[in-house]
Amino acid sequence: MSKIISFILLLIATSCYGNGKLLATPGVSQIEGAAGGGLVPWAQLAGYASEDEVSISGYCTQANVDDFELSTCGVQGNLYDRIELSYTAQRFDVLPLATTLEQSIYGAKVKLYGDLVYSRYPQVSFGMQHKRLETADIAFALGAKDDSATDFYLAASKLHLGAVAGYNLLWNATVRHTRANEIGLLGFGGPQQKSHVQFEASAAILVNKHLAIGTEYRQKPDNLGLKEDDWHDVFVAWFPNKNISVTAAYINLGTIAGIEKQRGWYLSLTGYY
């Protein structure tokens, strides 16, 4: 938590209020710290900073399924609508074992091309998420090879104005290179490791400028041979103004650590400055 506070103070010391983008266009906060949907990082950068502004945002997320609970809090910085930096702390409660796993994630994203709204082609960004599992005993017992690793991803996003019966349509596609088991909460690598490349996608309809309804899909590897399933959600995101967003979702996480049918709810709150 001290790392989050230090990061916030550093950005405040050099920032001017970010307000240069259209409402809702940054998306919300992803569980690993990037701007995007809840499960998938998008090409957009966090916050509302334009090319001559710096912005900061902070978020907390709670996701509960039948046998597990994930609590995540983090901070994000947007430097001149070109670079996004983030830090996230995750707490994962394994209810059947009455134990808790903790992970730290340091993220960075660079906009390579385009603009979500105004360019002809999609906005494209390259990102990384360096993950360190602080509690690795269970991961190693299950066959994980490492307690830290770095994900790399390439994301493309586009907002089409009035594309669906007059409503705005947003889509995103992400390709991720990863060795993470259950996003890193069960370590990295393992005896069944095959392809490192995974696909992720999101789509949303903006009902009006304050409300978006959408869905996400996230492909995941099965390095440990525990039938690690892909993730899905259906979400509603509310943007009352440029200072706050609230996201609620139904999530289907499939099988986690051999325990099947992990379905439940997700709630996230992001504040912007």
Mean pLDDT for the stretch of residues 58-83? 96
d(CA 254, CA 133): 22
**Do 150 and 131 touch, CB atoms closer than 8 A?**
yes
Mean pLDDT for the stretch of residues 201-217? 97
Whether the predicted pLDDT of 1 surpasses 60 = no
Which domains, from first to last, does the chain contain? Answer: 2-272 (2.40.160.40)
Phi, psi of 51 (to 5 degrees): -70, -10
Pairing between strand 211-218 and 231-241? antiparallel
Task: Report pLDDT digits (tens) over 36-52.
Answer: 999 999 999 999 999 99
Task: Report pLDDT digits (tens) over 188-203.
Answer: 999 987 778 999 999 9
Mean pLDDT for the stretch of residues 259-265? 96
**Do 245 and 218 touch, CB atoms closer than 8 A?**
no
Whether the predicted pLDDT of 273 surpasses 90 = no
Per residue, the 3-state secondary structure of 59-103, as one string, reads EEEEEEECCEEEEEEEEEEEECCCEEEEEEEEEEEEHHHCEEEEE
**Do 206 and 170 touch, CB atoms closer than 8 A?**
yes
| Strand, helix or coil for residue 263 | strand
d(CA 267, CA 38): 9
Per-residue model confidence (pLDDT) at position 13: 43
d(CA 166, CA 181): 41
Whether the predicted pLDDT of 167 surpasses 90 = yes
Per-residue model confidence (pLDDT) at position 192: 87
d(CA 222, CA 13): 43
Alpha-carbon torsion angle 93, 178, 221, 92, nearest 10: 0
Per-residue model confidence (pLDDT) at position 61: 97
DSSP 222: -
Whether the predicted pLDDT of 11 surpasses 50 = no
Whether the predicted pLDDT of 9 surpasses 50 = no
Using alpha carbons, select from 16, 73, 20, 70 the residue that is nearest to residue 45. 20
